[in-house]
Amino acid sequence: MIDNLWAGWRGRYLSSLTESASGSSVFSRILESGLSDEETYIVHRSATAFVILNAYPYSVGHSMVLPYRQIADLDDLSAEETTDLWNTVSRVCRAVRREYAPHGINVGINMGAASGGSVNEHLHVHVVPRWHGDSNFLTATANAKAIPEALDVTAARLRAALRGSDSASDPA
């Protein structure tokens, strides 16, 4: 039997992500907002991509790597964007390993409306740290997940870890 999981916040969240009249994704609107990286939880910027924390993380350190340019598919990336995006994903993985010491990391992309992603118009790569037992009793008994660190603390930790890593020389 399948149980229903009530997530009343999700409808409002998904509605807020829909494209604006200008066609801008939530990520483009964040970039255009004029707000600081601290206010928007952007933890790193490279030449053609940036790293932002997921506002509704699956685990501590759940980050997303995106091109600045709003595109929907990997095929739409330029050669420079492709290289920068994947170098940045690797750099985030190294920083997460160094800062949080997870037992594993999920890296994934949802492309297209049927893929399960909620922001289809702006390609983004999820980097999700995972630990043995991170689906604990709370998830099974209370339909809830405990995220034991505030986003501003996670942002500060990842910013520092990313500043301390050089993508070319960091062996982690």
Query: Given CA atoms 47, 48, 53, 59 in this order, what sign does their dihedral have?
Result: negative
pLDDT tens string for the chain (172 positions)?
Answer: 455 555 565 555 555 545 455 688 999 999 999 999 999 999 999 999 999 999 988 899 999 999 999 999 999 999 999 999 999 999 999 999 999 999 999 999 988 888 877 788 999 999 999 998 776 544 544 556 667 788 899 999 999 999 986 654 544 4
Per-residue confidence (pLDDT) for residue 144, from 0 to 100: 61
Candidate list 44, 62, 122, 124, residue with the active-site label = 124
The answer to whether the CB of 71 falls within 8 A of the CB of 111 is: no
pLDDT at 120: 87
**What is the pLDDT, as a whole number, of residue 75?**
96
pLDDT score of 9: 58
Question: What confidence score (pLDDT) does residue 23 get?
Answer: 81
Amino acid 22: pLDDT: 62
CA distance 6 to 20: 27
Question: What pLDDT does 171 receive?
Answer: 44
In the chain, the N- to C-terminal Cα span, in Å, equals: 44
pLDDT of residue 6: 57
Chain Cα centroid distance, residue 116: 15
Catalogue all structural domains in the chain, each as residue range(s) with its CATH number. 21-163 (3.30.428.10)
Q: What is the pLDDT of residue 143?
A: 57
| Beta strand ranges found along the chain (DSSP E) | 42-45, 49-53, 63-67, 104-109, 125-130
> Which of 9, 55, 13 is CA-nearest to residue 147?
55
DSSP 2: P
**Model confidence, pTM:** 0.77
Instruction: Name residues whose C-beta falls within 8 Å of residue 157's C-beta, 6 or more positions apart in sequence.
Output: 61, 99, 100
Residue that the structure tokens 């829909």 belong to:
18
pLDDT at 153: 92
Residue 44 catalytic? no
